[in-house]
């Protein structure tokens, strides 16, 4: 399915990223596994690479911070220098700094937005430039004479979350994950002319970030990984701009923001008319109090 392709997995040292790295390699890809340099005792990208190689796969580790423009440019340029091409990226890099918004510090807000939303932007921008220009331009270098991946396999997979619908105590995380969905749709539109597909994955899986409320037997990371391999492969050449949710045995295509109910008033709406008719017109048989916590 992925024979001969080169795939980058960011946040690949553990959980979903490690599972994705392993299944990509098992399906024939050369995998560049990125993560931060680990603290003592934490899993590392090198450990995942060793497991892949021991199972007969091809992989390399690359440590760095995906919020850094310079590092991301180096990640892509060095991947191409070493492996000759780049066909796909999936970005699992993430962190949590939970807290109610009235108690949330600027650092807690900014750090989560940086890792989740800015990290996706820096990766998409650098990869998009590489694919757009036949790999002649990245953030840090100009590389000539190497292929940039076939049009069939150029693919970027963003990673959002059910928290994009809103989740108490996660204003920063929910905002970032909702922003990723808008970024995904826009990137799919802009990069289609270069043969690049961009889709969003919404995984529901037992990881270090969800172990307080998910069943590890019902939602193992291994049940999400096949969707990663499919969406990055040329089997999904007609799939782009989509949001795909994987939760245990279920897979779903999520709807995009569309009007739920529309009302017209000749001449437009003034405050008095809205006060008289808003709930009756737009809320008839529809709950307008949406402060309940959504199901995952």
pLDDT tens string 76-108: 999 999 999 999 999 999 888 888 999 999 999
Proportion of the chain above pLDDT 70, given as a percent = 88
The question of whether 160 is a catalytic residue gets the answer yes
Count CB neighbours of 52 within 10 A.
Answer: 23
The question of whether 165 is a catalytic residue gets the answer no
The residue that leads in pLDDT, 61 or 98, is 61
- Give the per-residue pLDDT at 121: 98
The pLDDT-based confidence of 263 (bands split at 50, 70, 90) is very high
- Report yes or no on 24 lying in a domain: yes
- Report yes or no on 294 lying in a domain: no
Look at the chain and report how many structural domains it folds into: 1
What secondary structure does DSSP assign to 257-289, as a single string?
Answer: S--S-----TT---HHHHHHHHHHHHSTTS---
- Give the per-residue pLDDT at 213: 61
Q: pLDDT tens digits, residue range 146-188?
A: 445 555 569 999 999 888 888 888 999 999 999 999 999 999 9
- Report yes or no on 16 lying in a domain: yes
List the catalytic residue out of 71, 173, 206, 230: 173
The pLDDT-based confidence of 145 (bands split at 50, 70, 90) is very low
The pLDDT-based confidence of 64 (bands split at 50, 70, 90) is very high
- Report yes or no on 295 lying in a domain: no
Q: What is the CATH number of the domain that holds 115?
A: 3.40.50.720
Residue numbers of the domain that contains 212: 6-253
List the catalytic residue out of 160, 161, 163, 233: 160
- Report yes or no on 265 lying in a domain: no
Tell me whether strands 58-63 and 88-91 are parallel, antiparallel or unpaired.
unpaired
All residues at 6 or more sequence positions from 213 whose CB lies less than 8 Å from its CB, including other chains: 296
- Give the per-residue pLDDT at 11: 95
- Give the per-residue pLDDT at 30: 98
Q: pLDDT tens digits, residue range 112-131?
A: 999 999 999 999 999 999 99
- Report yes or no on 247 lying in a domain: yes
List the catalytic residue out of 177, 206, 223, 233: 177
- Give the per-residue pLDDT at 138: 40
- Report yes or no on 93 lying in a domain: yes
Tell me whether strands 58-63 and 155-159 are parallel, antiparallel or unpaired.
unpaired
- Report yes or no on 290 lying in a domain: no
């Amino acid at each position: 399915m992925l024979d001969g392709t080169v795939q980058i997995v960011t946040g690949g040292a553990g959980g979903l990223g490690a599972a994705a790295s392993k299944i990509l390699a098992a399906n024939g890809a050369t995998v560049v596994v990125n993560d931060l340099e680990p603290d003592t005792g934490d899993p590392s990208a090198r450990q995942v690479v060793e497991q892949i190689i021991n199972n007969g796969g091809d992989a390399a580790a690359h440590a760095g911070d995906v919020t850094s423009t310079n590092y991301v440019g180096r990640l892509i340029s060095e991947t191409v220098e070493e492996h000759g091409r780049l066909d796909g990226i999936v970005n699992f890099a993430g962190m949590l700094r939970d807290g109610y918004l009235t108690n949330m510090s600027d650092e807690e807000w900014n750090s989560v937005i940086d890792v989740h939303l800015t990290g996706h932007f820096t990766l998409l921008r650098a990869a998009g430039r590489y694919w757009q220009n036949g790999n002649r331009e990245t953030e840090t270098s100009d590389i000539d004479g190497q292929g940039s991946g076939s049009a069939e396999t150029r693919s970027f997979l963003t990673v959002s979350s059910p928290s994009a619908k809103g989740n108490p105590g996660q204003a920063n995380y929910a905002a970032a994950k909702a922003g990723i969905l808008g970024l995904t749709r826009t990137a799919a539109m802009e990069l289609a002319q270069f043969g690049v597909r961009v889709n969003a994955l919404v995984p529901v899986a037992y990881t270090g970030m969800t172990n307080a409320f998910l069943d590890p037997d019902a939602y193992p990371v291994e049940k999400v990984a096949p969707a990663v391999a499919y969406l990055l492969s040329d089997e999904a050449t007609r799939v782009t701009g989509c949001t795909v949710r994987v939760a245990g045995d279920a897979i779903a295509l999520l709807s995009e923001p569309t009007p739920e109910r529309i009302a017209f008033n000749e001449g437009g709406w003034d405050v008095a008319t809205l006060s008289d008719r808003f709930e009756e017109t737009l809320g008839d048989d529809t709950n307008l109090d949406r402060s309940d916590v959504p199901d995952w």
